Amino acid sequence: MCGIVGYFGPKNGAKIIQEGLAKLSYRGYDSWGIAAKTGETLTIYKQTGDIERGEKLELPSTRVIGHTRWATHGSVTVANAHPHTNESGTIAVVHNGIIENYALLREALIDEDYLFKSQTDTEVIPHLIDYYMKRGQTFAESFSRTLSDLKGSYAILALHADGTLAFARKGSPLCIGIADGEYFISSDIPSFLAHTKNVIHLEDGDSGILDTELTITNYGKPAHRIATPVPWDITIARLGNHKHFMIKEIEEQQRTIPAALNQEHALIEQAVRLIKQTPNLVLAGCGTSYNTCAAAAAHFIAAGKHATPVIGSEFDSAAPLLSEKTLLIAVSQSGETADVLDAVKTAREKGARVIALTNVPSSSLARASDLVIPLGTGPELCVLATKTCTAQLAILTLLALKSAGKDTGTLTQAAASVRAVLEEGKKHAKKLAEQFKDATSLFVLGRGHLRALASEAALKIKEVTYIHAEGIAAGELKHGSIALIEEGTPVIVFGNNETRDLITSNAMEVRARGAIVLGIDSERSPAYDYHIPIPELGEAGQLLQILPVQLLAYELALARGCNPDKPRNLAKSVTVR
């Protein structure tokens, strides 16, 4: 939900910021803008649309801030794009988050004759800084005074025309990349990975100033933050020979699934101990992360463990069942999803323990948890979760099997089969996409733990192709959804040895009504028009079964002229409720 980045150093900052914003555009891409110190003034440039299609700016400046937007307050217009400024244009601000009390602040400022040009919550910030500066405070003092007026969540960068850069974080991510005499302050590391791997992860309540030196305080008290190297390789943030990050990240699963399983032994043992101890295991996540929770809950339950998957935004409904005996496994790629962070807060208030599964070990989720299991995939830049989905599935299945005392060899076999399944999937994906590309609806059927995987498959297809797609418990089909099956409706069926007989009947039922059935299954059933074989690996099979659907979703997106990396209306990190 919006990405911000600032540069302070000796080089051409406008170019660096434009390149950095392109790397952050997974956080929002409906408009973008930059503010650059040019001489004694600030030059502001804003545009609607995706920065990657925007013009390359020739702006010699060594102090620059930029923003890529996912609209919340106000529609997609140049006026609503960031940066926002005070009236004289000497203070520019970019912001990620939501200022909850902006309406009151705006009214108070209008009473003081401040003029607003946008409908955003952000615009109150430069005006407030201006207000305090006009009353004799310095830029730094005014920035800090402004922060104390704000309610809500934010990562903010403010640039003054004298070249001073101020920053703050509360509830939205912000980190500082440090190179030799250069600073990059950003929502996320990929925006500056080409320049440095040395990173300070700011804490909630941190704010600071960059002028002759870097000063950081936490809620007003001096704070000492140390830069640490991130183990990420720059090639992860580059497309290389691939056309899109989606296909690059799908292919990376040959590496990321084995890596996710290759966790520190002591960490997994500790998590397993906590799982065994709790009589009430709750798993929470949103979107794909919820689907992996639901799939894992089925494994825990099958092994006799009481486990409840809860959608992050519905967590309040589970709150009455929480106690100090509860263990919450909170799953979030970004570690910044607001509903998951709220769930953790609620669980903590009830005294529950929390294990975080996240791809960002420095995230807000990781900081709020007792134990952090990293997904370890490296940054995922496509808006769709693919490699992080299978990393979550791998780790959660590992925990379920280990806590039930079961053999985990099937997971190792699944990891070793990723390449072959991707190869097989590629043989079919293009042809199937051609056949399915004009469909208006698509259904995915599964039973048992494969029901949750059916929801994940449908999510992948709908978000990138805009085809209406539903994942259904196959047995539920007859209770309504079968009314929508007509001649040519694509139906994907996830089968395995345990469910094949029943799911074959369900596949027959839809086929009898004209559906075209694609079976992703260890064996071919007569009900399948098309079949993509995967090895029979019990609980671990789902790691492989989702792969051909990811490939199909990608090819369908291309066949329908959709941008796979940037589906409409979506942002990767959902930091609003």
| SS3 state of residue 2 | coil
Residue 76, φ and ψ in degrees, nearest 5 = -85, 95
Nearest alpha-carbon partner for 559 in 479, 490, 498, 485: 490
From CA 136, how far away is CA 129, in angstroms rounded? 11
Cβ-based nearer residue to ligand F6R, 18 or 333: 333
Cβ-based nearer residue to ligand F6R, 384 or 485: 384
Cβ-based nearer residue to ligand F6R, 23 or 500: 23
- Annotated catalytic residue within 2, 286, 389, 562: 2
CA 218 to chain centroid, in Å, comes to 27
Q: Is 404 exposed, middle or buried (0-12, 13-18, 19+ CB in 10 A)?
A: middle
From CA 557, how far away is CA 560, in angstroms rounded? 5
Cβ-based nearer residue to ligand F6R, 83 or 309: 309
Q: Does 287 bind ligand F6R (CB under 6 A)?
A: yes
Q: Does 286 bind ligand F6R (CB under 6 A)?
A: yes
Candidate segments 169-177, 179-187, 287-295, 478-486, binder of ligand F6R by CB under 6 A: 287-295
Please confirm whether the linkage preceding 83 is cis (ω < 30° from 0). Answer: yes
Q: Is 35 exposed, middle or buried (0-12, 13-18, 19+ CB in 10 A)?
A: buried
Residues 449-468 touching ligand F6R, rule: CB under 6 A, are 459, 463
Q: Please state the closest distance from residue 231 (CB atom) to ligand F6R, in A.
A: 20
Q: Is 426 a catalytic residue?
A: no
Cβ-based nearer residue to ligand F6R, 94 or 385: 385
Nearest alpha-carbon partner for 284 in 348, 336, 350, 357: 357
Contacts of 420 (CB under 8 A, 6+ apart): none
Contacts of 227 (CB under 8 A, 6+ apart): 176, 178, 198, 199, 200
Residue nearest to ligand F6R (CB): 287
Cβ(134)–Cβ(104) below 8 Å = no
Q: Please state the closest distance from residue 28 (CB atom) to ligand F6R, in A.
A: 13
Q: Give me 34's structure tokens.
A: 């930059």
Q: Residues 233-272: x/- map of binding to ligand F6R (CB under 6 A)?
A: ----------------------------------------
Q: Please state the closest distance from residue 18 (CB atom) to ligand F6R, in A.
A: 25
From CA 525, how far away is CA 520, in angstroms rounded? 10
Cβ(350)–Cβ(343) below 8 Å = no
| CA dihedral angle for residue 559, residue 563, residue 565, residue 570, rounded to 10 degrees | -120
Cβ-based nearer residue to ligand F6R, 65 or 329: 329
Binding-site size for ligand F6R (CB under 6 A) equals 15
Interface pick for ligand F6R out of 288, 364, 410, 465 (rule CB under 6 A): 288
Cβ-based nearer residue to ligand F6R, 210 or 393: 393
Q: Please state the closest distance from residue 384 (CB atom) to ligand F6R, in A.
A: 4
Cβ-based nearer residue to ligand F6R, 281 or 459: 459
From CA 149, how far away is CA 249, in angstroms rounded? 42
CA 565 to chain centroid, in Å, comes to 13
Helix axes 253-261, 409-436, angle to 10 degrees: 150
Q: Which helix (H) or strand (E) holds 123?
A: none
Q: Please state the closest distance from residue 273 (CB atom) to ligand F6R, in A.
A: 25
Q: Please state the closest distance from residue 276 (CB atom) to ligand F6R, in A.
A: 26
CA distances from 157 to 82, 138, 512 (A): 11, 16, 60
Candidate segments 95-103, 158-166, 176-184, 282-290, binder of ligand F6R by CB under 6 A: 282-290
Residues 382-421 touching ligand F6R, rule: CB under 6 A, are 384-385
Cβ-based nearer residue to ligand F6R, 368 or 385: 385
| SS3 state of residue 298 | helix
Q: Is 572 a catalytic residue?
A: yes
- Annotated catalytic residue within 37, 305, 387, 572: 572
Q: Please state the closest distance from residue 358 (CB atom) to ligand F6R, in A.
A: 8
Interface pick for ligand F6R out of 86, 191, 263, 289 (rule CB under 6 A): 289
DSSP symbols for 187-231: SSGGGTTTT--EEEEPPTTEEEEESSSEEEEETTEE-----EE--
Q: Please state the closest distance from residue 334 (CB atom) to ligand F6R, in A.
A: 3
Q: Does 378 bind ligand F6R (CB under 6 A)?
A: no
- Tokens 């794909």 sit at which residue? 288
Nearest alpha-carbon partner for 462 in 324, 557, 351: 557
From CA 214, how far away is CA 211, in angstroms rounded? 7
Cβ-based nearer residue to ligand F6R, 81 or 236: 236
Q: Please state the closest distance from residue 340 (CB atom) to ligand F6R, in A.
A: 5
Cβ(173)–Cβ(332) below 8 Å = no
Cβ(444)–Cβ(471) below 8 Å = yes
Interface pick for ligand F6R out of 185, 393, 395, 574 (rule CB under 6 A): 574
Q: Residues 316-355: x/- map of binding to ligand F6R (CB under 6 A)?
A: ----------------xxx--x--x---------------
Candidate segments 52-60, 253-261, 286-294, 512-520, binder of ligand F6R by CB under 6 A: 286-294
Q: Which helix (H) or strand (E) holds 251?
A: helix 245-251
Q: Please state the closest distance from residue 533 (CB atom) to ligand F6R, in A.
A: 25
Cβ-based nearer residue to ligand F6R, 108 or 576: 576
Q: Please state the closest distance from residue 260 (CB atom) to ligand F6R, in A.
A: 14
- Residue numbers at the binding site for ligand F6R (CB under 6 A): 286-289, 332-334, 337, 340, 384-385, 459, 463, 573-574
Catalytic residues: 2, 572
